[in-house]
Structure 1
């Protein structure tokens, strides 16, 4: 996830990365900054998420942090992607 953020925005973890990537995983390939998240990257994200039963979020105190998919679904359900100006 950090690599995609670096490729797209030259930022180790751009605010909202976990939200935008989850959306892309659910909907398919998409542009992200200066890069394009392709099907191969999506498959890798899906596989890692399924293997671990979780998703990575960024927390100000713990930085990159794994949470369960159930917990992530609750977080993502309340999100509005329009809040992330960098996502088309």
Structure 2
């Protein structure tokens, strides 16, 4: 019989996750979906964000959607800057 425990300390130390958070920001209403950090920086030009901590949310579907959203933003911005 063996036992392996994964806890916030494991996430923090092994996965370099801020404060051991498994899902980035806290999964409460005011930090979910639209209220999560958006996929494009408002402060730094051409800086885009992808992952569980960004819009639309955590989990594989959320992360995949985040990548799709960011890639579309990048393509849109590239076309706009070329004009």
Establish whether TM, by shorter chain, passes 0.5: no
Q: Which has the higher contact order (CA 8 A, sep 6+)?
A: 1
Q: Would you tell me which structure has more strand in proportion to its own residues?
A: 1
**What is the TM-score of this pair, normalised by structure 1?**
0.30
